Structure 1
Amino acid sequence: MATFTYNKTLIGLIIIGLLAAFTIDWQRHTVEQANSTVELVMDYEDIVEMAQIEGVEPAGLLRQFKDAGVTSLAVYEATLEKLNKSGKITALPGSEILHQYRTGTLTDPFWRSLVADGKINAEEIYVIGQDKQVFREVMSDLDRRLGPGRVTLLAEGDRPVLSAKANYEKAVKWNLGLPTDELATVEKLGFYVIARPTNYTKVTADDVNSVFNRMAGIEHLTTVIFVGDEVLGYPDLLPLTARNFRERNLTLAMIEHPLQLQFLKQEGLLQLAAANNYQAARVYAIPKDEQPKLKMAEAIQRWVVTDQERNIRINLLRRYDKPEPGKTLIETNLAYISGVKEALVAAGFNIGRADTYKPYFAAPWLLALVVLGAVAAGVLLLSLIYPFATRWQYGLVVLLAALLLFPIVKGGGTLSRQMAALASAIIFPVLAVTWQIDRWRRLEALGKLDGHTGAGKIIVTGLGALFVTTMLSLAGGLYVGAVLSDVRFFLEMEIYRGVKLTFIAPLVLVTIVYLTRYNLFDDAQPLNARGLWRQVAAILDRPVYIKTLVLFGVAAFAAWVFVGRSGHTAGVPVPAIELKLRSFLEQVMYARPREKEFMIGHPAFLLAVMACYRQWPRLVQYMLVVVATIGQGSLVETFAHMRTPVLMSVVRALDGLALGAVFGVAAIIGVLIVRAVAARMGRSPAANE
């Protein structure tokens, strides 16, 4: 039997790295614990429109929503279309004025004189002000967006009029700056104010300053959520925008992408977050087309899970447009808001202005120790696949560590850390399973796997082995969670790279490990490491049967589902029954475990233990070991989601272990029952004998 030596020095480096990882993870936990206040936001326009639909006074309805739990109102820029509807200004195309003149319906002497003097152009827009402040703001922003000479003041006084050379159908939808009257109204009612401005074409410093001047005097202005494809000041004036943010202590809101990976694309967003000293918060809104399909209880639970698992601190709540049975539209939405607030408070959150992470960055020397441990783990695994001299192992550690650590000790090294995280996520579950395989080999060599072990011992031994293997894999998760720990990863400005590879590579490596220790088709002649390629060649030379093709077809389908369900792509759909199971587990457990662990990987691990003790065919043992590796790899990959608190990832792994143990024991009992029934039926005499 080939022997594989576990280099104790490399194991020592791994342990040192684990201690450093635990230190960083604890620091990360304290930072995450201090970030527990969630802001409940609605659009000011949504509530005002609801008041109009229900025929109630807007200010009173706004107060009701404040009492229900809304902390903040988002104020969008004004448009001619919205101002027309509100009656604050009147905007008309010149063609309509001329049409009235020619049909005799234009009776106002002022307008008739303008038409008679040739001052009305069919292709221009005319704006009449009912509210002087609103009129001044509209004129100012039209002048900025259209440029010199395209906006003309035709009349002043109680009824000011301007003309603008622009296409009416397009111009009525243009954003024309933040309405100061709405900002003031929101603040007066006791809400925090969230501004939603847009950028300008060929933006100037005066344009940027004008936006912040509109916000001047609003003491409870806390956050800015930009609208459009760019942040204000992009591309050349981001430093000016950032300076205004810092002077006003504003939070930059970043809207999560619908696929839950980073953010909706806005040019300059990440640069502005860094320039604002990472005073930024992640925002989530249930998609418009999805919310009507959700029952209120489901939507409320969605918010709890979202805030717990994805570090969302600004909940942008959309109203329900259809009332629930027995309730008015207002009652439905008030119940929704109060339900979200109560559920979040019960989950341990505070409600108020959104917390932001302090700009945490782990100490470079701690990161260096973690990376060194990851390198040692990689070299150890390599030596367990193809043994080579100890001095060469140390030399390889020194070489790889030097390449990865130099950027880190210089104060950078994001790519090095991402590489170390990817390596840890792949290597540690493989090391954990490899250790278990070698343990089984030792037991087999000692004659303790005789095929007659009792079910009770298999279960007890299997549970113990599963616990130890999971703890070894969990060490890899702590490595991943530590080496990427800084505020950029918490906010998902930077992300873990290589999700698909993280799922596939451990299965390939475990296959290689297994083939260096066992011959799949000849139990009597285990192969050494140098015989790996001969065994691969032998496998490829074996005849192919229909059952083999069917088996490979099933395996290919499983692989498609396995890979397609990983990452953040709209790949393999999730069955409705699985969604219900997820919802149930989210409600009864602190952190919902992954199905790959408790339904697939961990039960397969316990069946692999049974396969070894009962001496099932080697091919069956191999397949169960590979499936068991899925659970271990999934456990480590959980920690790659840096937006999720590290404590939740740990608890998720432990929850998966506990639930997986239950499913695994049930799987063993089920197999024993099936085998007993089959044996009994095989011994029964035929009915016609």
Structure 2
Amino acid sequence: MPQWLHTWNSRLSKLLWWVVLVGVIAALPVMYARAQTESSAKDVAFVMDYRDLLQVSSTKEVPQAYLQEELAKLKAAGVNGMAVFESTLEELGWAGEINVYNATQAAMLEQRVSPPSDNRTYVVFHNAEHAATLRPIIEWAFTHYGADIKDWTVGGLSGLSIGMGYDDAIMHPMQPNPIAMQALKDQGFQVFPRLSNRILPFDAAEMNKWLDSFQALGVTRVLFDGDAITGYGEGKNPKDVKKFAQMLDEHGMGIAMFENLKVPMKGMAKLANLLEYNAVRAHSISEGEMTVLKNAPIEDRLVLAVKDRNIRFIYLNAVATKDTIKGLVYNPLDKITETLGGYDGSTGVIKKIEDFGFNLGEPKAFEVHSAPQQSVLKGVAALGAIALISILIGLFLPGLQVLAFVIGAIGSAGLYVLSPNTMLQALALFVGIAAPTTAVILLVKRLRELRESSADGRLSAARRLGGSLILFARTTVLSIVAIPFIVALLNEIEYNLVLQQFRGVSLLHLVPIALVALYVVLYGSGNTVFGNARRILAMPLTVLWIVGVGVIAVAGLYYLTRTGNAGTVSGVELKFRSLLENTFGVRPRTKEFLLGHPLFLVGIFLALRYRWAMALIIAGTIAQLSMVDTFAHIHTPMILSVIRVMLGLGLGVCIGLVGIAVWQIGEGVKARWARQEA
């Protein structure tokens, strides 16, 4: 590179660092606004599936008495809401409102023989007053399905004859049972209708009547069942979703969205957007999980959902199952009340979330806060992120540093015009990679300088320890510079609700390690990059090399399986995580405090004397990037992420200091043996 170009690049590189600093400062008000948003909704609903309660009660000798007894227990334990599905004839039968018969059974009641041509379904009402409410609901629903309805009486009770086969009829959905909803409200429960997209075609006038009845009961939020929201018509009438959203808004109702669905619910993101994100996140423990999981894992899972993932809606299921070994019908309702209210000395879920500042109440959507001139601040933060990425490029290609910044700024502006979300997500990913990579590479350069500048190449242990702590702190600060940029660039409510997510988690976990390793191997060592590359390629391939590459590949694959929300975790580690959570209140990340930070600190200490210790620094890069990745989980409250990172740093440094002490003791013992043998 010509000297003049090198001089100008050197001067402009310092200017880029100032751009980074200004970008960080601009991001701070946006971070504060996000913290305000996250603290704006602290009420949590624990909601029981009312249909499951009816199903469980139907297995008891006196179903209605058992139902009322369990409702009282659940309320005392902390359940403050009930989810009421769209009714079916089967569910109304569980509730004791009707009896449902097929044609043969109805004929037997009338003491006649059912003709082969009769395959109708017969319904009889038990309560004349309730029949006045339920009859119009049943008649509208089955008329909507194309079935004819006739009056039918038996044994002095009024009923209906429905022109549909029994197996088909008992499954067809209808309006949620208004009698049950009123009774639940009278008992002090919040009521949450759970709607589907099964009643087709969508009837806006009928849905408006439903919403009117919900509003009269004080309903403020609805749920959805199935694979699509109400009104989603597979493109047949795209305006139905807009109509439904408008009706919800007019009735003052929002939605709850279940997390971790195998397939995202169709139309949910669009509905949330139309409602201006009057939405809360919901976490569900399925019937099967509730049956097999023990109390402690359920308790940990529910507390973490509320505390760690901004969940404000806990959905509880229960189902009666046959235990063939014990010869009885089992249900997990006692497990639910024990887990929420406490058992065997445990304080229970409700008390634990209250200790973290949450309350039982009506779940509300986050009140979105914005920093003054937030769009301008985000633009400045974006320039700071581009500057940091350019600095990383300059470490590998010094002549392109300034050019990279110019191209990056122009390209980002153009991409923002075409697709703002794509540009912001890409920039957040690249700056997340750039910060820890740049920090560690600058550390590697500094270590080489210190090792080469010492008179005899051997610094004292005290100086190495002091220098290691300073270098560790400096590198950590530079690594976490990415955090304000990621928070500012992705500070939108869609990320809090996980309708949008940080993209490229696997790249964030791999690229910094690979780039640091590449720099250590190819840059420095008194040779050119191409010279080092030729030297490595000319090295003989041995069995040891093949084994080493295999070990690294296996370790890399295992490492990738542990990244992201879908990472696999063993039972032993789950217990260890629970221990950490219960001990500290916030669980530090294992790969930071137990692996990455100790390796990194010990690596710095040893690298001041031994070249081979750079391998430890490469491995320890895991912790530097993991701190950044912690804040890429945008659905986690920011203050909790700060605590998690600080705990990881504190514990990691302590373990690293122990590792250094052990090494020094080992070196002393080895030197003593060497002197004795001499």
Q: Which amino acid aligns with 1:400?
A: G
Q: Give the 3-state SS of the residue equivalent to 1:285 in structure 2.
A: strand
Report if aligned partners of 2:393, 2:404 keep a CA contact under 8 Å in 1.
Answer: no
Residue 223 of structure 1 corresponds to: 221
Q: How far apart in 1 are the matches of 2:287 and 2:56? A: 17
- Give 1:412 deviation, angstroms: 6.8
Report if aligned partners of 1:433, 1:510 keep a CA contact under 8 Å in 2.
Answer: yes
Residue 542 of structure 1 corresponds to: 539
- 1:510 pairs with 2:516: yes
Q: How far apart in 1 are the matches of 2:491 and 2:544? A: 48
Q: Which amino acid aligns with 1:350?
A: N
Report if aligned partners of 2:124, 2:153 keep a CA contact under 8 Å in 1.
Answer: no
Q: Give the 3-state SS of the residue equivalent to 2:466 in structure 1.
A: helix
Q: Which amino acid aligns with 2:28?
A: F
Question: Which ranges of structure 1 fall in alignment gaps of 5 or more residues?
Answer: 101-105, 520-525
Residue 457 of structure 1 corresponds to: 463
Give the RMSD, CA atoms, in angstroms. Answer: 3.0
| Structure 2 CA distance for partners of 1:22 and 1:54, relative to 1, 3 Å | farther
- 1:184 pairs with 2:182: yes
Residue 151 of structure 1 corresponds to: 148
Q: Give the 3-state SS of the residue equivalent to 1:265 in structure 2.
A: coil
Report if aligned partners of 1:37, 1:353 keep a CA contact under 8 Å in 2.
Answer: yes
Residue 89 of structure 2 corresponds to: 80
Report if aligned partners of 2:256, 2:282 keep a CA contact under 8 Å in 1.
Answer: yes
Q: Which amino acid aligns with 1:607?
A: V
Say which of 7, 29, 39 aligns to 2:35: 29
Question: Which ranges of structure 2 fall in alignment gaps of 5 or more residues?
Answer: 324-330, 342-347
Report if aligned partners of 1:466, 1:602 keep a CA contact under 8 Å in 2.
Answer: no
Say which of 243, 247, 254 aligns to 1:251: 254
After TM superposition, the structure 1 = structure 2 runs for residues 178-577 of structure 1, keeping only pairs within 5 Å, are: 178-199=176-197, 200-219=199-218, 221-235=219-233, 236=238, 237-257=240-260, 265-319=264-318, 332-338=335-341, 339-360=348-369, 363-388=374-399, 393-405=401-413, 413-447=420-454, 450-454=457-461, 456-519=462-525, 526-527=526-527, 531-569=528-566, 573-577=568-572
| Structure 2 CA distance for partners of 1:379 and 1:172, relative to 1, 3 Å | same
Q: How far apart in 1 are the matches of 2:388 and 2:278? A: 36
| Structure 2 CA distance for partners of 1:543 and 1:274, relative to 1, 3 Å | same
- 1:68 pairs with 2:69: no
Q: Could you state the TM-score of these two structures normalised by the residue count of structure 2? A: 0.88
Q: How far apart in 2 are the matches of 1:503 and 1:330? A: 42
Report if aligned partners of 1:208, 1:233 keep a CA contact under 8 Å in 2.
Answer: no
- Give 1:48 deviation, angstroms: 5.0
Residue 656 of structure 2 corresponds to: 664
| Structure 2 CA distance for partners of 1:393 and 1:464, relative to 1, 3 Å | closer
Q: Could you state the TM-score of these two structures normalised by the residue count of structure 1? A: 0.86
Q: How far apart in 1 are the matches of 2:615 and 2:465? A: 19
Q: Give the 3-state SS of the residue equivalent to 1:175 in structure 2.
A: coil
Residue 606 of structure 1 corresponds to: 601
Q: How far apart in 1 are the matches of 2:110 and 2:143? A: 30
- Indicate the larger mover: 671-680 or 7-16: 671-680
Residue 626 of structure 1 corresponds to: 618
How many residue pairs were aligned?
Answer: 642
Q: How far apart in 2 are the matches of 1:481 and 1:639? A: 7
- Indicate the larger mover: 174-183 or 163-172: 163-172
Say which of 114, 122, 125 aligns to 2:118: 122
Q: Which amino acid aligns with 2:631?
A: F
Q: How far apart in 2 are the matches of 1:266 and 1:637? A: 27
Q: Give the 3-state SS of the residue equivalent to 2:185 in structure 1.
A: helix
Q: Which amino acid aligns with 1:183?
A: M
Q: Give the 3-state SS of the residue equivalent to 2:220 in structure 1.
A: strand
Residue 13 of structure 1 corresponds to: 19
| Structure 2 CA distance for partners of 1:650 and 1:320, relative to 1, 3 Å | farther
- Give 1:574 deviation, angstroms: 2.1
Report if aligned partners of 1:194, 1:223 keep a CA contact under 8 Å in 2.
Answer: yes
- Give 1:156 deviation, angstroms: 7.6
Q: Which amino acid aligns with 1:281?
A: V
Residue 175 of structure 1 corresponds to: 173
Q: How far apart in 2 are the matches of 1:54 and 1:562? A: 54
- Give 1:273 deviation, angstroms: 0.6
Q: Give the 3-state SS of the residue equivalent to 2:581 in structure 1.
A: helix
Identity %: 27
- Give 1:562 deviation, angstroms: 0.9
- Give 1:640 deviation, angstroms: 0.9
